[in-house]
A and B are shown apart, each in its own frame.
Chain A
Amino acid sequence: MSTGLRAATRMALRDQRRRPLVSILIVLVPAYVILWSVAETKPTPRTIALPGGVWVTTTMRALHGPGMAELMVAFLAALLGVFVMRSALEGDRRLVLAGLPAHDAVLARITVLVAATVAAVLVSAGIMAMIFTPASWPPVIAALMLTGLIYGAIGALIGALLDKLAATYLILFLVMVDLGVVQSPMFHSVPVSAAWLLPGYPLDRLLYDGAFAHRFHATGALLLALGWLLAAALAVQVVLRRAVGLTTG
């Protein structure tokens, strides 16, 4: 790691630490939403389709825990993506002009985004573990991590293209519609026909497979989610490099 990259990463992380309210909210908001929503949900029986043609009968309450954990990770990561990108747009171009290599500036911002996403995933998974034990943890953690990274990247892209008000509106709406309604097995026993068009489709298939199936059936979903992540990460890298002034145009 170069000295420039180390310094830029340290400064970017310090920039985040200067905002204690964000750290508090990253814990309190998921804690309230996940614990309250599960406590309030009735244990009404619900049969849903999992990947691989497996059907499982569970309850609305059991479905709500992983669903809300995923929703919280997506909200937090996407908003973090928006504002990390906006910080980059405001400050990093000057750093690059002052001599910091552009790829160091980009890597530092991506490091912050990934670190914040890991924190959001750990918090949400930890809170979920207090009220729900999935059949298999690794797919659940993978789904939450991929949710954070993909939505963090989407947030960063939206943050680069729109002003902060429009970006916030779009993030709130996209996450609620994708993960809150279209993909949720609380409302659709089988994913709706156009669900695969949204990034939440493979994430939810992976999440609920891990939550309720003892054998892994979600290889296709995992690969599709990794494809989304790769595409989103490449797009973020290109946009960030443009944002800090490393363009030929």
Chain B
Amino acid sequence: MSAFVVTSGSYVREQLRAPLTLALLVAIPVFFVLIFASVLGEFSRALGGTLQARSATAISAGWAAALLSGTLAYFMVSSSRSADRRLALAGLGPVRVALSRIAAALALGAIVTIVAFLTLWVRSGIGHPWHGLVAIFAFAAIYIGIGAVVGALVSDPLGGSLLVLAVFSVDAFSGPQMSSAASGIGTYLPTYHAANLLIAAGVGDRSPLVDWRGVALIALGALGVALAAFWLSARVRSPR
């Protein structure tokens, strides 16, 4: 078995060594979708947004994946610097350490995605299930990038978790789906295209190519940024 697979598996186990963390990774998306689905449509209308009940249910699955994956990636980077540097020094190298971290984050993001997807499917059905699955995973991937960047820049866990929450608040509630006034700026938010894709998938509409391209670009870009953040954390500084 290659060192990459062993290290990735260890990183996943590292996050799940507390059984409650796994329980929360499974339970929170379920409750998030079930509880928020019933109120997000009403909330969107109060803000002048356009979300209808079924679309609101769909987008709650994406938000669950985003918030959990972003927080996870943040703590992965911020709390692992010294261990990752030692692993890199011991022969794994910063690139393989970073790739292992990304693989572990994506594996955990996939767990959240699948749980949120299945809950959504059971709760309200999904017109285009595969599109929905891709869109929810895109939410997770984009926030893995955001969480990793915050983790590379902010070592204090309180400041870092607040910053991830701040980015999420701006992204989730300023998008054009949730408000009438932010349609211009809102289209530049990181999960704008993923939200369009997920809403369309939920109600069974076809998604325009621009949203597919947008999601692919932003998710891959976010993972590239996350890779750089993990690499920076694992890189061994030469002594001055």
Contacts and interface: CB of A to CB of B under 8 A. Distances in A.
A41 B46 contact: yes
Interface string B39-82: 10011011110000000000000000001100110010001000
Which range holds the interface residue count of chain B? 35 or more
Given A42-B48, A162-B18, A170 B24 contact: yes
19 contacts: A21-B156, A37-B47, A40-B48, A40-B181, A40-B182, A41-B47, A42-B47, A42-B48, A44-B45, A80-B158, A83-B158, A163-B18, A164-B157, A165-B71, A166-B18, A168-B71, A176-B36, A177-B35, A181-B35
A181 B42 CA distance: 11
Contacts of A168: 71, 75, 161
B43 A21 contact: no
A173 B166 contact: no
Given A44-B46, A168-B71, A187-B39, A19 B21 contact: no
A201 B35 CA distance: 17
Given A28-B166, A40-B47, A60-B46, A166 B158 contact: no
B170 interface: yes
A206 interface: no
A22 B156 contact: yes
Interface string B1-40: 0000000000000010010110011001001100110110
B163 interface: yes
* For the complex of A and B, 8 pairs with smallest distance between CB atoms: A21-B159, A83-B158, A166-B21, A25-B162, A60-B46, A187-B39, A169-B24, A22-B159
A168 to B, nearest CB: 5
A165 B14 CA distance: 11
Contacts of B163: 21, 25
Nearest to B15: A165
A147 to B, nearest CB: 17
Contacts of B46: 41-42, 44, 60, 64, 186
Contacts of A165: 15, 21, 71-72, 75
Interface of A: 19, 21-22, 25-26, 28-29, 32-33, 36-37, 39-42, 44, 60, 64, 75-76, 79-80, 82-83, 86, 162-166, 168-170, 172-173, 176-177, 181, 184, 186-187
Contact of A19 (B25, B47, B159): B159
Contacts of A25: 159, 162-163, 166
Interface in B126-163: 154, 156-159, 161-163
A29 B71 contact: no
B76 to A, nearest CB: 9
A174 to B, nearest CB: 10
Contact of B24 (A64, A76, A166): A166
Given A165-B15, A165-B71, A169-B68, A40 B161 contact: no
Contact of B162 (A41, A79, A164, A173): A79
Given A29-B166, A39-B181, A169-B71, 10 more contacts: A25-B166, A40-B181, A60-B46, A162-B20, A166-B24, A168-B71, A173-B31, A181-B39, A184-B39, A186-B42
A75 B165 contact: yes
Given A22-B162, A25-B166, A163 B21 contact: yes
